[in-house]
Amino acid sequence: MLKTILFDLDGTLLPMDLDLFLAKYFGGLSKSCSHIIEPQVLQKNLWAATEAMIRDSRPDKTNQEVFWEDFVPRFDLTEEELMPIFEKFYDNSFGELISCTNPTPLSREVCETLVAKGYQLVLATNPIFPDVATSQRMAWAGIKDIPWALVTTYENCHFCKPNPNYYREILERIGAKPEETLMVGNDTLEDLVAGKLGIKTYLVTDYLINHGSSDYKTDFEGRLEDFVKFAKALPKVKE
């Protein structure tokens, strides 16, 4: 019996074209640093440091530590000089990226439905963003005040999707069993890889990201509106 539901955010609970969002995100961040770093150079190095973070599999390094250890040496600047510029961007310009999203009341409805039935919820968004950026995207989706057992960010995670250890770390942290867990997401690689651990998967197809593999395997599949019906049909969690 299911007891825990993991949700992806971007393209799942927060409908969006992820490529457009990331392009605007990296472009905006590069522009905010243009007074000290040429935008094209910054954007290239942002992507490189993000990819380094995604590839890294050291359990003793948070994603945040991996990112900055790769990113800072690429410039003649210190982390202390760069960090305030990033923080200013998140406090001021990041909010404009809501224009790349299409929030839906279905996201809050499905979360409230599951909470009322006693399910433990985790926002399993790929932890390549800091908490401040994740918190804002949760607010756009209307789910910030949901009682999440865990929200994954680059400060509190040691792995990224599609590394199976990302899901293993979540299960260990919240004390969940894979056979009692469902991962809900829109990415055939990053979200469905959870199945390798024995976690059941639900592929949300509204903003499907298919990595060119037509033979992906998922336990359930449908639009977000279908998942709302799925959630309403689930039994209450037994104490």
pLDDT of residue 214: 59
Alpha helices in the chain (DSSP H): 18-32, 39-55, 63-71, 79-92, 105-116, 131-141, 164-174, 224-233
pLDDT of residue 18: 86
Say whether domain 4-17+102-233 belongs to CATH 3.90.79.10.
Answer: no
pLDDT of residue 59: 97
5 pLDDT tier (thresholds 50, 70, 90): very high
DSSP-assigned letter for residue 101: B
pLDDT of residue 158: 98
Separation CA 142–CA 106 (nearest Å): 10
pLDDT of residue 77: 87
Identify whether 162 is preceded by a cis peptide bond (ω within 30 of 0).
Answer: yes
Rounded to an integer, the average pLDDT of 92-116 is 97
Look up tokens 């390094």; give the residue.
61
The answer to pTM > 0.85 is yes
Chain segment 24-48, per-residue pLDDT in tens:
998 898 888 888 889 899 989 999 9
Domain ranges of the chain: 4-17+102-233, 19-98
DSSP-assigned letter for residue 76: S
pLDDT of residue 131: 96
Does 239 have pLDDT greater than 80? Answer: no
DSSP state letters, 156-170? T-S--TT-HHHHHHH
Does 194 have pLDDT greater than 80? Answer: yes
What percent of the chain has a predicted confidence (pLDDT) above 70?
A: 99
213 pLDDT tier (thresholds 50, 70, 90): low
